[in-house]
Structure 1
Amino acid sequence: MSWAAVLTGVFVPLAGVAVAAALAWRNGLLGWADVGLFLGMYVAVMLGTTVGFHRLFTHRSFETVKPVQFVLGVLGSMALQGPLLPWVGLHRIHHQHSDQDGDPHSPHAPGRRGFWGRFRAFWHAHIGWALPAETTDLERYAPDLLKSPMLRAVNALFPVWAALGMLIPAGIGYALGGWHGALTGFLWGGLARLFLGHHATWSVNSVCHLWGTRPYHSGDESRNNPVVGVLTMGEGWHNNHHAFPTSARHGLKWWQLDVSYYVIRLLATVGLAWNIKLPTARGLEVRRAAT
């Protein structure tokens, strides 16, 4: 990924948040339509990333029908974190080398001491990893997905899905409030939603490898962080995930909110998901005893 693409992805949503906040301040009240577009787009796109890109396509933690695969692939692409196949490939590399040499976004780089050293390590884990010194063919780490013509098409049409992720809230805003509604819909349902979604997801790589609890032995520095858990629909229970990477459920305790898993269970209830993988009681006991 080029410097220009990464910096655009970082600073344009930030600018959008600033403009959206300024307009809301001037008008004295944030409209219900803007709140609805922000929350609706955030939840839909985040679930496309967590349920689709992560738990389904990367870890194969459950199976579902092709139409659901397509919808999840499109919604995940709207997060603007890259096309499906490279996203999956990069994440599989992360698990293969978690917090060791070869991990593309570990905050535990050797030799990073002192405040600035730790800050640079955090920045690398959060977003700096997207600026690699050399290009890696990430798609070869997803040979199972390459076999599907439909998923290859979802991957190839990434620019279309990315554009739709911005245009849909603008179009709904226009239908509800004319051109002013289109502008605020674009700002809140598009750029502001993108800003929060990016940093929430990146926090799984950075925050969840630095701060939180480690109830299970996972062989790395992954941690459970409840704040990230809520913001990312369950992805913040990261130590649980690294201990049991193929589990469709990340919030393994009843109080660990995991909206993504609830969606998977809902799909199963209506017959659209099956072969849902979960850790066994024995597996939980062994991992706990090893901490």
Structure 2
Amino acid sequence: MNKPPIIWTNVILFASTFLAAAILVPWYAIAVGFTWTEIIATILCLGYCGMSITAGYHRLWAHKTYDAHPILQWVYAIGGAFALQNSALHWSSDHRVHHKFVDQNDKDPYSAQRGFWFSHIGWMLREYQSNTYADYSNARDLQNNKIVMWQHKNYLLLTVATNFGIPLFLGWLTDSYIGMLLSVGVLRLVLSHHFTFFINSLAHIWGNQPYTDQNSARDNGILAFLTYGEGYHNFHHIFEYDYRNGIKWWQFDPTKWLIKSCSWLGLTRNLRVCPADRIEKAKVQMQLKRAQAKVSHLPDAEQVMQRLEQEYELLMEKMHAYYDVKKVLLQQKKQQLMQQYNEFDLKQQMQEVRRNLQLQQKRWQQLTAQFA
């Protein structure tokens, strides 16, 4: 079969930046040395790019797991261009196709079933993708977003302005143009690229599957550290509309922390969360499935299977009872809060009415005093 044509722009970009990071950055580190200012600036810019992709491109625009204030969207749009991973519209459209057809080699744009190299970077080096969504028909909502479309139309200009302008500006501030171009410009870009690419490749190969084995996505704490929480990928692929990836308090998910923190400042709202009972049910179903697979070859497999199923049904019964009561309690708490709010509101109204009455009484007394 004839291979699709090579996308030379991407090949040259990825090859040249990688070679510069692999050769020029170590040479400069040995010959001149990077200052702490350059190192800190690189880490901060790397985080800005990464979080613009994870919190902006991925959880906001691709999956609509929350709503964001326009100010935050502008920050994401510029950071996404700085990350140089195509426009938010194009990226989100591709990602929605990935979720719809995950692991289907002929439809998933970066199917992990085609190997690590293909899912990591190979899919971007040739014209593999069909024209099914060339008109972004699966992202009509984003085409109505003025900020997304502004970034899409001005993407090339924004990438040049950020990837050269920011390192040069920092170089001007510190009088270290070459150091900033190599660290904030080249090294930051290469690390940002490949950390994100790990989500498409390693996160579908390396890790465990506590929630589902219906696709290749894995949970991996190490990858979560490199990808700002995106490494909890097995959870994400079954509960893609949850704004969290790491649902436990101890799981490293700075993207979740950013979104939640911004909600306290009024910059994010309508944070979508999958019900806890659905998450627990998915975990228990996977545990049952694995247990059944392990005991299937035992001499008394039938008896053990029967006991597993009985215990599973009992657990489901207890779980439903627990979450039903929990929902009632939450509803009662809401009602109590509403009652407290109503009481507070009535008290405020009473104070205002009293003030108005006192003012009117004073005016009345002043008026009638004239005729006493």
1:50 is displaced (CA, Å) by 0.4
Distance 1:91 1:227 in 2: 22
Pick aligned residue for 1:164 from 141, 161, 164? 161
TM-score, normalised with respect to structure 2: 0.71
Task: For residues 189-247 of structure 1, give each alpha carbon's deviation from its aligned partner in whole angstroms, at most 9, with x where no partner exists.
Answer: 11101111111111111101111011101620100122221111111111111121011
Aligned to 1:66: 70
1:48 aligns with 2:43: no
Does the CA contact (< 8 Å) of 2:112 and 2:216 recur in 1? no
1:173 aligns with 2:168: no
Instruction: Give matches, 1:185-224, under 5 Å.
Output: 185-217=180-212, 219-224=214-219
Name segments (4+ residues, structure 1) moved above 4 Å.
Answer: none
The structure with higher relative contact order (CA 8 Å, sep 6+) is: 1
Does the CA contact (< 8 Å) of 2:52 and 2:76 recur in 1? yes
1:96 is displaced (CA, Å) by 0.1
Distance 1:163 1:2 in 2: 23
1:162 is displaced (CA, Å) by 1.0
1:135 is displaced (CA, Å) by 5.2
1:150 is displaced (CA, Å) by 2.7
1:99 aligns with 2:103: yes
Greater radius of gyration (CA): 2
Task: For residues 80-130 of structure 1, give each alpha carbon's deviation from its aligned partner in whole angstroms, at most 9, with x where no partner exists.
Answer: 111111100000000001112411111213xxxxxxxxxxx2111101111
* Structure 2 residue matching 1:108: 3-state secondary structure: helix
Could you say if the C-alpha distance between residues 2 and 157 of structure 1 is closer, same or farther in structure 2, counting changes exceeding 3 Å?
Answer: farther
1:160 is displaced (CA, Å) by 2.0
Of residues 254-263 and 98-107 in structure 1, the stretch that sits farther from structure 2 once superposed is 98-107
1:260 aligns with 2:283: no
Aligned length: 276
Pick aligned residue for 1:143 from 140, 143, 146? 140
Instruction: Give matches, 1:224-263, under 5 Å.
Output: 224-263=219-258
* Structure 2 residue matching 1:70: 3-state secondary structure: helix
* Structure 1 residue matching 2:113: 3-state secondary structure: coil
Instruction: Give matches, 1:82-97, under 5 Å.
Output: 82-97=86-101
Aligned-residue Cα RMSD (Å) equals: 1.6
Distance 1:9 1:237 in 2: 29
TM-score, normalised with respect to structure 1: 0.90
* Structure 2 residue matching 1:78: 3-state secondary structure: helix
Aligned to 1:24: 29
Gaps of 5+ in 1: 110-120
Could you say if the C-alpha distance between residues 256 and 9 of structure 1 is closer, same or farther in structure 2, counting changes exceeding 3 Å?
Answer: farther
Does the CA contact (< 8 Å) of 1:170 and 1:184 recur in 2? no
* Structure 2 residue matching 1:142: 3-state secondary structure: helix
Distance 1:148 1:187 in 2: 35
